[in-house]
Amino acid sequence: MSSTSQKHRDFVAEPMGEKPVMALAGIGEVLGRRLEEKGFDKAYVVLGQFLVLKKDEELFRDWLKDTCGANVKQQGDCFGCLKDWCDAFL
């Protein structure tokens, strides 16, 4: 990874368990709240969506943008975070 945030590293370091959706890299308070309103209240639910979209970057980015209005950077951070987590634990 060229430049990953501390949040990313923290998330990828261990199984996500019951971590809230705001633990994902790129997802702060605002986006987290929007995701929770749509029913994605835990990180693993977003993981579920990520997997249903076959871990495809474009699809996941589009979905994230549609669902909570994430910008390009946030989309990328979240995608990268989940992807790395899957590489490590899935």
Partner 1 sequence: MSSLRSKSAQDISDLLDEYGIKHGPVVDSTRSLYERKLKEAMAKGKKGKASPDKTYYREEEEEVTYEYRTPVRSDGAGDSGSYMRSRPEWSEREFEHETSYSSYLRSKPEYRGKDFVDEPAMYDTPSTYRHSYLNSTPMKSQDAPKAPKSSRLIPLWVQFAFFLAVAVFLYLVFSNMETNESLKGIE
Chain residues binding partner 1 by CB under 8 A are 49, 52-54, 56, 58-59, 62-63, 66
Nearer to partner 1, 5 or 53 (CB): 53
- Residue 33: exposed, middle, or buried by beta-carbon count in 10 A (0-12, 13-18, 19+)? middle
Q: How far is CA 44 from its chain centroid?
A: 9
- Distances in Å between the Cα of 49 and the Cα atoms of 3, 6, 26 are 25, 24, 16
Nearer to partner 1, 56 or 87 (CB): 56
Distance CA 11, CA 59 (A): 22
Nearest distance in Å: CB 45, partner 1: 9
Nearest distance in Å: CB 68, partner 1: 13
Nearest distance in Å: CB 13, partner 1: 27
Nearer to partner 1, 14 or 56 (CB): 56
